Copies of this chain bind each other. A is one copy, B any other.
Amino acid sequence: MPMQRNIRPMWWHGRFRGCGYRITAPREAILDVLSKSDDHLSAEEIYIKVHTYYPAVGLTTIYRTLDILANMGLIFKFDFGDSRARYELSEGPKGKKHHHHLICTNCNRIIDYADFIDEEIKLLEQTEKGLLKKYNFKSTNHLIQFYGLCEKCQ
């Protein structure tokens, strides 16, 4: 019995095909879960959510798909220090916009932070430009996290 499938082509189908990947039910389910969540989900959390709709999908496929998505740049893979990778849809058609993270070292809460100051963005670009000159390092991305205590934990 083939899985129930959404007929309508999704925003990512083109990009997926372009890379030579096939559109499959597990992949649709995983992207569906990711696009409907505001959290930073682990592979197992995604597995559990997908599992409620498609019990047939295995954890292995979750890992495999996440790997593909991360390599394609559709999702970001993070390490927040809880010994498991966490994933989040990257910026794009359906993704939230670029942001940084505040991490509470006490309760491990992750807070998205996107209200950058203009200067903040400007300086970041300036810095990347500087890195190119000083180290001849061509930066394509950056990771910025602040560690400290959240409102509740102070």
Contacts and interface: CB of A to CB of B under 8 A. Distances in A.
A78 to B, nearest CB: 9
A11 interface: no
Contacts of A115: 134
Interface stretch (A27-35, A60-68, A145-153): A145-153
A147 B119 CA distance: 21
Given A102-B139, A123-B120, A138-B154, A131 B113 contact: yes
Contact of A151 (B119, B126, B137, B144): B137
B141 A137 contact: no
Given A131-B146, A142-B145, A147-B143, A137 B111 contact: yes
Contacts of A154: 136, 138
Interface of A: 79, 81, 102, 104-105, 111, 113, 115, 117, 119-120, 123, 126-128, 130-131, 134-151, 154
